[in-house]
Amino acid sequence: MALLAAEHLTVTFPECEAPVLSDASFSLEAGDFAVLCGATGCGKTTLLRMCKPELTPRCTQSGAVLFDGQPLSAYDRKRTASQIGFVMQHPEQQIVTDRVWHELAFGLENMNTPPEIMRRRIAEIASYFGMEDWLDRDPASLSGGQKQLLNLASVMIMQPRLLLLDEPTAQLDPIAAADFLTTLHRLNRDFSVTILLAEHRLEEVIPQCTTLLRMDRGTVVMQDAPRRLLAQLPADAPVLAGMPAAVRLYHALHMQGECPLSVSEARQSLMPQLICEKKALPEPEPRPEAAPAVTVSEAYFRYERSGRDILNDLTFSVQTGELYCMIGGNGAGKSTVLGVLAGLYRCYAGTVEIFGKRIRDYKQRSLHQNCVTLLPQDVQTVFLCNTAAEELAETDRHYAETLRDFPFDFTPLLSQHPYDLSGGEQQLLALAKVMLTKPRLLLLDEPTKGLDAQSRLRLAEVLRGLTAQGVTVLMVTHDIEFAACHADRCGFLSRGALISADIPARFFSENAFYTTAASRISRGYYQQTVTVEQIVKLAEENGGCR
C-alpha cells in the first residue's frame, strides 16, 4: 500500500477560472525519496500543500489525497501535524521562537510531550544534526544554511513518516545546499522517512533520489526511476535544460548505454568516449574597456558600533554595461554590498562611487531617479498593491508598451494578487517592476531563486538586452551555473572582502567547490570548460566520440 497518493486531484482557487492542479495523480511507497520537478508556476507548491492539511489553501477540490490508504480528511490534526512534516523555501518564515532549543521544543510542546521525553529528544536531535553549540543562540544570528537545518531538525524531532520540502535549498550557497541534501539522503536511508521534495536545483538531488515526478501545467505527466525517465526524454525536450550536467551531456552528444546521473558517473562513462586531442577552446574576446559604473575602495561597514565588520577593506569595480556576478557563502556580506551601493547603508570608512560620483554626493532622491535600482532577495517587500497589474501600473502606466520585449507573458497573472503567484512568478513580476524604473545600474539579489531552467534562460535574455543598452547589472547569486553561462565577470566575496575576480572560464576552472558540474566532469580531459555547451562544442570540434 502506498504511503502517499493523489488520485485525480483537481484544485481551483477562489475567483480563478482555470484550475492550478488538474487531474494530478501519483503514488509514493514508504521509504521513497521522490523529487518533484517542473516549470515555474506549474503547481508544485500547491500539490505539496494539498498533502499537508494544516497548510492546505482555500480552494475548490475534487479527487483525493490519501495518506496510508486513507483520505487526509479522515485523520485528526494531531496525527497529521506530527506524522507529516513540511519545510518551506524561506527559512525565516518557519522560525517562531527566540532560541534554537525553544524552536526544537515548540512542536513537542504543542503535542503535550512529557518534559523528560522532550529533553531527551532535543539532546538526541541536536547531536544528530551537530547543533549542540547553537542551542542557546538566537535563530536570527544563524546563517541561511543553519536556519534551514534548524527547520529540518524542528520537523524531524516530531518523528514524521512523511517529509515534504518546498525548494529548501533556494537561498543556500552551493556548499550549504549540498550539505542539506546530504542530510536529507541520510534521513531517508537511516530512518526510511518518505521524502517528497520540490526543487529546481537538480544537480545534487537527482543522483540521490529513487523516484522522479515531472509536473506540467498542473498535472503529473511522468513518474519513474530517474535513470529510466531521463534516458527516455527527447534530446530537444525543454525540461532537459534543468537536469544534471551528466544527463544533458548524454543527450547532447547522443551517447548510448545507461544514462549517467552524477559527476562521477559522467567521468567514468562519458568522458573516456570523447576525443580529447584539442584540449581548450579559444579565449573569449575581451570586453572593450568602459568607464566604471561602480568603484569601491577600502570600504568598511558594520551594522552596530560595537559589532564586527561586515564589509572589510572591500575593493572592487564594475564597468559600465557589464554583467557582474558576485558569489560567496551565506553570511559573506553580499547583500550588504548591494545595500551600500543602493544607498541604504553608509560605510564608516573608504569610498563608494557610482558613475564617477561619490555616493554621498547624490542628494535627495537623485541616486534612485533613473540611476540605481535594487531588487531585494525577498521580492515580496516590493509588492504594495492588490493585483499584478496594479503593481506594474504603479511604476509605469504604460507598462505594457515598456515591457513589450520582456520574454514572459504576464497576461494570465495580471488579475491575481502578487502573493498568490508562485515564487518564480513573483520573482519575474518584481524584476519587471524594477525594470520599469529604467535604471542605469541594476542591483539584483538572488534573482534566479525559484526559477526553472527555461525562466533562467529568459532572465539571461533580459539582462543581456539591458547590458547591450548600456545598463550595468551587478548580481549577487548562489546560481553558479547561471554565472558561468552568462556573466562577463565573476567575483568571490569572503568575510566582507573581494578575494578574486575573473572571466567565468578562468574563474570557475580554478575553483574546487564553487564551480560547475561541467567543470568537474571535464577536468583532466579539457581545459577551462565550465559549461555543458563548452564541452559539447569542444567534443564536436575534436570529432565527437571514439
- Residue 520 domain flag: no
Among residues 232, 264, 291, the one where a domain terminates is 232
Q: CATH number for the domain including 61?
A: 3.40.50.300
- Considering the domain architecture, whether residues 47 and 140 belong to the same structural domain is answered as yes
Split into its structural domains, the chain has a count of 3
HSE-up of residue 19 (Cα within 13 Å, Cβ side): 16
pLDDT digits (tens, 9 = 90+) for 219-236: 999 999 999 999 988 877
Largest CA distance in the chain: 69
- Considering the domain architecture, whether residues 210 and 267 belong to the same structural domain is answered as no
Q: Would you give the DSSP letter of residue 96?
A: -
- Considering the domain architecture, whether residues 342 and 455 belong to the same structural domain is answered as yes
The confidence score (pLDDT) of residue 497 equals 96
β-strand pairing of 497-502 with 357-358 = unpaired
- Residue 315 domain flag: no
Among residues 174, 197, 232, the one where a domain terminates is 232
The confidence score (pLDDT) of residue 195 equals 97
- Residue 283 domain flag: no
Q: Given its phi and psi angles, is residue 159 left (phi above 0), alpha (psi -120 to 50 degrees) or beta?
A: left
| Apex 55 CA angle, 51 and 59, nearest 5 | 85
The confidence score (pLDDT) of residue 347 equals 95
- Considering the domain architecture, whether residues 435 and 464 belong to the same structural domain is answered as yes
Q: Where are the beta strands (DSSP E) in 49-94?
A: 60-67, 70-71, 84-87
pLDDT digits (tens, 9 = 90+) for 387-402: 999 999 988 888 888 8
- Considering the domain architecture, whether residues 258 and 161 belong to the same structural domain is answered as no
- Considering the domain architecture, whether residues 93 and 205 belong to the same structural domain is answered as yes
- Considering the domain architecture, whether residues 271 and 210 belong to the same structural domain is answered as no
Domain range for residue 401? 322-346+364-502
- Residue 297 domain flag: no
Q: Would you give the DSSP letter of residue 347?
A: -
- Considering the domain architecture, whether residues 9 and 70 belong to the same structural domain is answered as yes
Residue 192 has pLDDT above 90, yes or no: yes
- Residue 44 domain flag: yes
Beta bridge partners of 475: 325, 444
- Considering the domain architecture, whether residues 496 and 368 belong to the same structural domain is answered as yes
- Considering the domain architecture, whether residues 227 and 339 belong to the same structural domain is answered as no
- Residue 64 domain flag: yes
- Considering the domain architecture, whether residues 211 and 104 belong to the same structural domain is answered as yes
- Considering the domain architecture, whether residues 377 and 485 belong to the same structural domain is answered as yes
Cβ proximity of 270 and 287 under 8 Å: no
Cβ proximity of 434 and 443 under 8 Å: no
Beta bridge partners of 354: 294, 357
Q: Which residue has the higher pLDDT, 207 or 143?
A: 207
- Residue 521 domain flag: no
Beta bridge partners of 61: 11
Among residues 232, 267, 285, the one where a domain terminates is 232
Residue 424 has pLDDT above 90, yes or no: no
Tell me what the pLDDT averaged over the chain comes to: 91
The confidence score (pLDDT) of residue 545 equals 76
Kindly provide the b/e burial profile for residues 429-464, where b requires at least 16 CB atoms within 10 angstroms of the residue's own CB.
bbbbbbbbebbbbbbbbbbbbbbbbebbbbbbebbe
- Residue 513 domain flag: no
